[in-house]
Structure 1
């Protein structure tokens, strides 16, 4: 067997040896042939390389990018051809000159020729294969916005932009975002700026923008647009399949931004692109979406989770932008005087789109162009300004045209008839809208339309719930439509002479007539057959209504008289037989009587008029609505009220009296009770100690009643009423008994210095306060608690389920005997409570008291957003056992027996018995808390207390943005540890805290960290620390993670280090950059030796602008050379009372230049320096900005 194996082995060795010998002989004797073969293959490669070069050049000329492997092939082809020419040719020629062949040279040449020929052949074949396919590709198109204007970072919009940016770039933040605002306000420009910045900073890999527009949306077409921008070729005509393909395309691309611009409706994203956005969720680092719309409701309808509003510019910003567009005055740009420039700018209404359009049109134009533009804007004819792009007007008009119903348009047109910049009283608007029958469905419909127009950015808020406003440009465009559209046929005429303008079209349906003179002759020949509404504004000029007033307006159904002086005795509107609505605003009607009012009048409103005494509105048998808003009670005769038999709404702000000298409530109550049709009552009843009524027999559906004010007293309720009227009663003094029937069914109750016992009312009325939403109690000292159910009534499930079940706001002031508010069983019904405020309740021990009936169930205040408690010195805890048991003494304010999942704001002040704020089990669940303010609680030792449910590493207060701790003399730390265990609260993250004010608590060991925990606040922008006995403010690990913009540290006499210094054996970065710090104030820190640099590291602050240092123990120089060189934006340095400070910065070294001449440096009460170099300023620097005071 062994012999056989040896034989096989020798046979193989012989075979390989013979092959090697023959191969060598081939190299030696056939080397010329092998070289010729190499040359042949090289020639073929050269041809192939030429073909490739031509194709590459062709593709490059077509704008394509050559694929990497093709470019690499070309390089290899050139190199191998060059190698063959350089290495083989010389050797061949040398051997040819030898008389005797050299076997070694022949062998080498032949072997190299074979190797290179093989490589050349492979390269040639691969090149030929490449040419059969695509060798280049079109580059990915990075679409960037095409700006027509420069983006201005206006101060009024900086926060809005930053909030949008922070939310969109947060990988774990909301997915669907929205920008909304009125037409022309700059939504698209802000979106484009965000788009550009996000792409340049590589926040997103790609941005895709689709203009949805106002036309009827074609979902298939929208899919095609998105697919085209994604380079995705849709392969199906079925919408669901296309959506699925787009979904996969978006997901595969990773982090992209989909922008849907100018959205007017719910576009159902899940139908168009599947679910990457449709369900409002996305994986971390995945795609996001941004909507722009004119309507907030469209953002909400499209599931936007984070919405920002773009508002108009401030007047100063608008003027700056306008001047920048029109340019400076010169020979080619003769600007008018400053006042005209400002007036034209003001008429643009702070809208960037209009400012740009008007400014561009007027740039370089002569003065008369400016005058004409001003006049056209003044007249509301924005579209007639020469050279203004008509698309600007069309874009705003489109917002109005696209309103979904005629009622909304009518409402907007009525608002446009009010003066420019007017605060529009909703009640007056309702009177106009319903009286003119433009919106005949009543006040609820008008309110709905106002709300709809606000959400559509066509109306504005005015700061008052009962008012609204319309933007000047929106007003101008709305008036233009209302005046020209025959369906509405509005008209405004100004009359500044005795005769009406003859060129006005008096065939209109709605007329506002502004009279600027007395005794206007209405003319016998004028007839307005179609006019149904007249708004006559007379500027307090006397009007006898001479001429053809009655014949001109014979068909009027609605008349509003404003600032009209009706001095004629016995003047009457009764000839206007069709008049159903009469409104009198600020008119003088002292000479009128009952004959003034048309007999068939259905609605009468009298606001702030000079009235006859008594006012006679008797026997208006068709009158259904009477509203009177005056500054005092209205004098009427007896039985006038009861004569208005059809009255449904009686709204009289200060009520009726029969005499100003002596007030009796009973006859007025009786007359109102006789109004059987009455459904809505707003009225004031004055103090009357003789009134003996036991139950007020009113049967109104809605009421707003005030009781108990002295007729001629100084105290005044806010008697204006909100629309729609609800059920509300406010009582002063001891008059509650007759009104209990209205109180128990009211939605709002306000009690002031009253003897009312709310708890007794609860016990006496089975369904008491089941509709109550707002309860305000002031100075009611006879109540020990607000509501408590005795043990024998606990089984009454009806009362337990309904009592206070709708209460949303509870405010209690100066109730000195209140020990608690609710028993635990009543507290469980407070499921709608959103705001709780207590102030000066001296005896308050708890908000909720367990009367021994607790089943251990946690009380969930599921909707409470705001909790404010001020001056409750005996308060022990929010929820406590009966006062007979002292177990609550050591409980935190919010312990584990209560839950507040929606709490956003908490303010605790002067609560001297509280030891801590939160149990950790409660703190862990306060996921919506935004602000914490704790002040003047002298026994407070900690904010959060670790109980048996210790908080592990994680997020604490995820929405907290502001933390204020003030005058807490015993506060030791943020945390306290009940069980004394270590390592229970490590590394707590407060991710959104941007403002932290820590003031006046003298004994903390450390606030931000200790051996058991650290607080991380990654976006903290402002920190104020005052009067705290700490030696070190931050550990290094905490400080380097902060993003501070403002740091203020004051009156901390023991403070040695702002940031802890490292020992020599510890390792850290030498330079720490505080990239956002713009302001530093250090005051009265006598032991602070250094801040900006210590032994082992120094801080660079590239955006620091201002710094003030006063009364600090800082020694040596303030800055090192390297720190000072990096203070690129420093503008002001103010230093005083720092006696140990030698200079501002170190001396320059060699040729180094340290120049502070562009900065304001103020030094007060400093030691006398040895030289200016010690202050960091050389003698030859003479800038006026460098100031030295009292050196």
Structure 2
């Protein structure tokens, strides 16, 4: 009996599921109309806020040059499609549901039911979109190999080049060939050609999914090659050893279905296994394209399966290129014969043609004839690669004009590939290369002008970023030869006996390990410049600097082998520029004894407290403390003692500025008020935690270049790329209408970032934005707002073109 009752109960329950329950649910839609509509509206408002949050992150990543993820773009599109249509539909349906049926005797039940049902379903859809918005990241860093490559600068589609290019493309298409070599004399255009090939195989031809390029040069640095390839692939190494990086790089390259690795300017064997490049059976989709001056290096040491020769330009091609670089004036009747003879001396080498034609552009006939006479000297009668190219580059060098420009160019050659313009400025000031230059700003303008002219003459090249310059390896070689022969300047890339160092005026140890051991004392009375690259295996002896009192520039970036500076550094009584960038040592109080120091670079160092002895450097014009993340303390009255300071860099250094109200003997740290004593201060990069600290400081009025962040550091969410010389980042909590310091900065600011917090901050910030007079120099503005406990919302981001 119980069994039968159980069966009946089951049947009744099932019947209820299919009949009563659905009816109840449908009735609920009628009774819960208001609740469902309110839930939908509430969810829609949350979705709007969430969309703004995601969009803010997207905008920030776009400004940083990152690529937005596909699912993020799809989500934003889905939200943008849903919100406007949904709001319009709900409004229309609400109006329809309010109308009466049966001649106005009762509500329109069908419309109410339909609206409630749709509202509930749409609320679920909106809730799903809200749930999908929790992206771990909205963008990813674009690998260099994914960036669209513009046409290669300097590449000309000459017939002699096009035929070789096509042959190389065929070899790249051959599945049986994995290593290809390109060789030819220096300056013939190997690098330009392979860059054009790299552009083509990633363009419409689509032979490869990825292309990575690394320049090798004479100093074969495996780690540098690994880092360059990784940068192209968007790979960040966590490993520190070259072996670990090789394993990681090999696995990363295997994930690319078809990848072309270009190693440019090889002088000797490069161990591909040690770098981490998988070839052959390990990864049939990976190919290696090499360039070298020597065929033997490619075929014997690098096992290239196919090699191609790049010849000099033929007569017609050479003359066409020469005319393009020298200008139409060379076609004039009186000048053309001489110009053609000069062009012949360039022997069809594009780099020689570019430099010589550029040097003689717009020159008069007698100058062309003098240049031809120089090129006809006996040293060129027996034309060899090294002597002839050096002579041609030397001719361009001689036409640079002033001795200051020549020495600046040679200094560029000492700095080598992809040198920083800012370093060049500091070196020229330290060496006092430009007479009549009284300020750092004048020195910077001088250097920028010289670099622009050197690029125009093809002696320098554009680098991969604006703040750097590059130099062709042939020009570099010729420049170092001139520097060594005529200016006693030596860049050590090969072994040189220690005793020879004593006659030199400038020394750059690019590879200190070549020397293995520095002399205990340098006996070099005329030495003015000493640079030593980081190398833990070579230690500077304590008395090394004791006998070189003439030294004016000392650069020891990233020296880790000894936590203490050599004690003999206090003998450098004429030192004007000291660079200890990235220095990880402890005690640097000895620097205070260098009374003639004008430039001190401690960027990226690990110091926690600036020694009070720095106050003795009363001739200091530039102090760089940027990216000193452990630096928290600058003793009181140190900065105010540096009365000649023109430029102070403290970007990303978290010094805890104290309020100026406390007496000097009670303070442990510096206060911004000290900068008011620096009447020559024109450049300032600094973080200030509180806007009230800049109420009435005189130093603000003298600033020409600045990058000032105001607000608690964690809140400064903008990217760190600064396109303008006057950048102001400001987080506002209160009304700032009475803050004269802020108003002074706003009048000069070119790049403005405002983060408005709370009602008072928003009111004060918007009031300032409405004052058009304060923004006469503004070129870019980025504003976000944030109420309490809410996500920041972008108000607008705009580039202003003036």
Q: Give the shorter-chain TM-score range.
A: 0.3 to 0.5
Which protein is richer in helix relative to its size? 2
Larger relative contact order (CA 8 Å, sep ≥ 6): 2
